[in-house]
């Protein structure tokens, strides 16, 4: 059975990606950290598309949890092959660096950067053995441009961009591609507290994007048609370039 694992899949961009993977015929593994109700809502949306899946609870930033839960799942489900991995889990704890404390730094960096490492390690070996895999990392405009008040988030996402480019070269001969999608301002829970009217005025398209628009780009990288594209970062930001 061909599976797609989406970290942070219970809400927002992650949920839209889960639904899109269901449309593509994948068995969808919805990772979530704590919101079981939201993860189950995502599963309902997946099933509404005629596919199936399951929710898998673990904190991507916790190596022991990832090894026990995801590693255990891989061992126990030999008949299910994770063909697509979307490293989407991420958090924001914005502050000017002058006021930022070490916990705010670690939480954000560990979730994006350590999470990418711990989760990818668990599924990469099977992709290499099968000589096929699609790894898509959700990064951010912040990781390319750098945004004030987001030194931690910018550092985390820039780190994942570097890792994307390096890993892509390591695994290309085995038919595994590694790409990144960098959203700008997308209308989700994570951006709900932002001044949308003010920020949208900075965007040439004069609006925030939707999670579904990000999911479409992920779907392209997840498909067979993108087989000769790897190590790329695709910006989805309505023209808001650096």
| Beta strands across the sheet bearing 176-183 | 53-57, 27-32, 2-6, 81-87, 133-138, 176-183, 233-236
C-alpha distance from residue 81 to each of 98, 186, 210 (Å): 46, 31, 30
Determine whether 153 is an active site residue.
yes
Strand 53-57 with 27-32, pairing: parallel
DSSP states along 141-194: HHHHH--TTBHHHHHHHHHHHHHHHHHHHHHGGGTEEEEEEEE-SB-SGGGTTS
Catalytic position from the list 26, 27, 32, 153: 153
- For 64, other C-beta atoms within 10 Å of its C-beta total 11
Q: What is the DSSP letter of 132?
A: -
Q: Which residues are catalytic?
A: 153
């Amino acid at each position: 059975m061909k599976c797609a694992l989406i970290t942070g899949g219970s809400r927002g961009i992650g949920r839209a990606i889960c639904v899109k993977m269901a449309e593509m015929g994948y068995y969808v593994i919805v990772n979530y950290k704590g919101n079981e109700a939201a993860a189950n809502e995502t599963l309902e949306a997946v099933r509404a598309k005629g596919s199936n899946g399951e929710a898998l609870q673990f904190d991507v930033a916790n190596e022991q949890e990832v090894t026990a839960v995801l590693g255990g799942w891989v061992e126990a489900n030999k008949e299910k092959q994770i063909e697509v991995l979307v490293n989407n889990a991420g958090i924001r704890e914005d502050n000017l660096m002058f006021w930022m404390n070490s916990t705010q730094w670690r939480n954000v960096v560990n979730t994006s950067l350590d999470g990418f490492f711990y989760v990818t390690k668990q599924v990469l070996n099977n992709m290499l053995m099968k000589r096929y895999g699609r790894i898509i990392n959700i990064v951010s405009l912040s990781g390319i441009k750098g945004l004030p008040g987001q030194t931690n988030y910018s550092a985390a996402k820039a780190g994942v961009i570097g890792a994307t480019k390096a890993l892509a070269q390591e695994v290309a001969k085995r038919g595994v591609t590694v790409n990144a999608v960098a959203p700008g301002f997308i209308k989700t829970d994570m951006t709900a507290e932002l001044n949308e009217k003010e920020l949208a005025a900075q965007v040439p398209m004069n609006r925030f994007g939707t999670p579904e628009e990000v999911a479409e780009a992920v779907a392209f990288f997840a498909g067979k048609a993108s087989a000769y594209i790897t190590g790329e970062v695709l910006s989805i930001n309505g023209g808001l370039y650096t």
